[in-house]
Amino acid sequence: MLESVIYILTNIPLLMKGVWMAVQITVLSVLLGMVIGIAVAFLRIYGSKNMRRLVSFYEWVFRGIPQLVLLFIVYFGLPGIGINLSPFLCVVIGLGLCSSAYQAQIYRGAILSIGSEQMEAGLSLGLSKTRTLFYVILPQAVRLSLPGFTNEFTIVLKDSPLAYAVGIAEILKYGRDLIVSSFRPFEIYLAAALIYFVLFQLFYYLFKAIASRYQVPGYIISGE
Amino acid sequence: MSFFAVLPKYLPDLAHGLWLTIALTLIAAALGFLLSVPLVLALLYTKGIPRMLARLFITLVRGTPLLVQLFFIYYGIPALGIRIQPFNAALIGFILNSAAYQAEYLKGGFMAISSEQMEAAYSIGLSKWQAVRVVIFPQAFRFAIPALSNEIIYLVKYTSVAYVIQVPELLSQAKFFASDTFFHLQIYFLIGVVYLLLIWVVSKLSDMLEHKLHIPGFDIAHLR
Amino acid sequence: MPLVRIENISKSFGKNRVLDGITFDIEPGAVKVIIGPSGTGKSTLLRCINMLAPPDSGKIWLQDTEITAPHTDLIKIRQKIGMVFQHFALFKHLRAVDNVALGLHRVKKMNRSDAYEKAKQNLQKVGMQDHGDKYPAQLSGGQQQRVGIARALAMDPLLMLFDEPTSALDPELIGEVLMVMQKLALEGMTMVCVTHEMGFAKSVANEIIFMEGGHILEASPPAEMFNNPRNERTRSFLHKINELYGESK
């Protein structure tokens, strides 16, 4: 038992390299998902009828397709039509596209729940439409989407080990390398799980702290 | 030879993979639900150790990536001298996951019920467990149907992760096909469509169930 | 012998002392109306009487059973005390008739057909016999509350507790519920009602209890209470109620 703990501790630096990779994948995928997600949310609300149909189909497809299948389409499929991307980029695109569909729903829900009266109130004060958007709508929309965003971030974090399937050196890969020489799969995968658990909690409480920092009475944004 | 010329030869394998995907989903959803009920009851209606254990289980399962859990079960546990087949390892992982997530959704359903319902049940002389069984649970379940059907959709998607621990499910069969024939893009695209179809069927079935169990006053829309 | 004896009960939620030494008796056939500002423990007092919220100290007897004693069979006790809730608290997944039959079938262990027969009789008593197949969401507030009364009555209680039964109702629906309660009182049911309906209190109650800050400040027959309140606080409360709800006949 003690021996196992010491073994894991001595190899923590190696596993930490994997942690850095997991964080990079997660953050970049979420950012890609955010950019596309915001665009999709706006198109779904303000777009023409055909555009709305198109983006809701987009949401349906990328919420439904398994991340791993999308990852394989990008990683194994695209080279067949002459597009060669690095494995890292493939993972970010795969996870990011899936996340964009979920994030679009979060932002759309937030924008819709603010209600048209807020925009009218802004205009009635003599603010322009853009100013109302920036000073009235956005500050509320950001607060309203924080719980959903936090949830989505942790989901992407939990999906990030799928990068293992295209050979990226993240926590599981380094773990596997260690097992080849030490034959201690039980301890190493347990340690991997614990590392992810700590990461998960870390980000969860980080976002919770951000949420409570910007808490305004009337918006429940730091809840479960 | 074209993609569609070689496809028929592999159809039986792909069909077998599809069957495993469906089996994994259904068994995990059903057994996960059975487990989720005692979990949520322990969480909400007990004190001390049962409640703590339920909380711990749900937090650990929801706080770690599925793939890491599967690695731990498939590669880690055999180191303790227990041999597990890939399919069974995946099944254990999926059941535990779906139990934890379904418990969380059910909890939401329970919380949507006002405390007066329990008081009213007590006031006509029902015991605590009678009240939970005949008054609270039937209502909580109806509130939770949309979330529970979402969980089945997640299960369909995430069964593809079982590929990584060599379960010959749909994605694995597609991978075999692709390595034999080099039609990567086509086959992953095709099974992507198959997954989307599966998910479409699940959401239609859940709409039907909701319709069948529908009672005036339980329109979910007003709750979310 | 009184039906219920309440002896010096107190209850706190956290630091908030909601009931502070309440003592009174309920004679068989009595109709007591509890009035007082909101947040003064009236609802909590009702919930002590059927032990939904057991008091921290003090004793309560139902006939010759001390129900506050440890290991009392509360399930037996609660069958003898009906309760009607502010927000009706009908079981929303069950039809009106199922709501009434549930306790008969599950608690009193009557067989299904007898339970439903009796449930229908009780719906008839509150004028809801034609709505038995409807779900709560399909009924108006007044109708839901009448079903709530039938549900409690079906258990043949010795005592009925009413927790602001009309305060969640639209004004035009209050009358139908008060009429059912009045009929019950005339039939000799023992009742304890928390309500702001002073007209009902005047015409039906044989004692009004004024509560404030967890204490009973005054308890007297309606004529005395309304015409000649002894306590300054009672006077100012009644004055405010009259302003809010209009002078009652």
Ordered structural domains, chain A, with CATH = 2-213 (1.10.3720.10)
- pLDDT value at A216 more than 80: no
Is C124 inside a domain boundary? yes
Instruction: Spell out which residues of chain A touch residue B67, defining contact as CB-CB under 8 Å.
Output: 161-162, 164, 172
Q: Do A197 and B63 touch (CB under 8 A)?
A: yes
Is C13 inside a domain boundary? no
pLDDT at B97: 95
SS3 of residue A216 by DSSP: coil
Question: Do the two chains C and A touch, given a threshold of 8 Å on CB pairs and at least 3 pairs?
Answer: no
- DSSP code per residue over C36-65: --TTSSHHHHHHHHTTSS--SEEEEEETTE
Q: How many domains does chain C have?
A: 1
Q: What is the largest CA-CA distance in chain C?
A: 56
Query: What's the pLDDT band for A133 if we cut at 50, 70, 90?
Result: confident
Torsion angle of the four alpha carbons A185, A190, A193, A198, in this order, in degrees rounded to the nearest 10: -140
Query: What's the pLDDT band for C249 if we cut at 50, 70, 90?
Result: very low
Q: Do C137 and B121 touch (CB under 8 A)?
A: no
Question: In this structure, what are the phi and psi dihedrals at residue B76, rounded to the nearest 5 degrees?
Answer: -80, -50
Question: In this structure, what are the phi and psi dihedrals at residue A83, rounded to the nearest 5 degrees?
Answer: -105, 115
Summarize the confidence of residues C163-171 as an average pLDDT. 93
Q: Which domain holds residue B7?
A: 3-223
More confident residue, C247 or A109: A109
Looking up residue B183, the CATH number of its domain turns out to be 1.10.3720.10
Is C138 inside a domain boundary? yes
Q: Do B80 and A186 touch (CB under 8 A)?
A: yes
User: What are the residues whose beta carbons fall under 8 Å from the beta carbon of B163, sequence distance 6 or more?
Assistant: A68, A165, B169, B171, B172, B175
Is C53 inside a domain boundary? no
Q: Do B185 and A172 touch (CB under 8 A)?
A: no
- The residues that bridge with C13 in the sheet, in sequence order, are C16
Q: Which domain holds residue C115?
A: 92-156
Express each pLDDT in C174-223 by its tens digit: 999 999 999 999 999 999 999 989 999 999 999 999 999 999 999 999 99
Measure C243 CA to nearest chain B CA, in Å.
Answer: 31
Name the residue with tokens 């009796």.
C118
Instruction: Spell out which residues of chain C touch residue B134, defining contact as CB-CB under 8 Å.
Output: 102, 106
Is C125 inside a domain boundary? yes
Express each pLDDT in C11-67 by its tens digit: 999 889 999 999 999 999 999 999 999 888 999 999 999 999 999 999 999 999 999
Query: What are A's interface residues with B at a Cβ cutoff of 8 A?
Result: 60-61, 64-70, 72-73, 76-81, 157-162, 164-165, 171-172, 175, 179, 183-190, 192-193, 196-197, 200-201
* Structure tokens, C112: 């299904």
- The residues that bridge with C159 in the sheet, in sequence order, are C81, C190
Is C133 inside a domain boundary? yes
Low-confidence ranges of chain B (pLDDT < 70): 219-224
Q: Is B142 an 8 Å CB contact of chain C?
A: yes
Contact C191, C183 (CB under 8 A): no
CB burial readout B164-194, b (16+ within 10 A) else e: bbebbbbbbbbbebbeebebbbbbbbebbeb
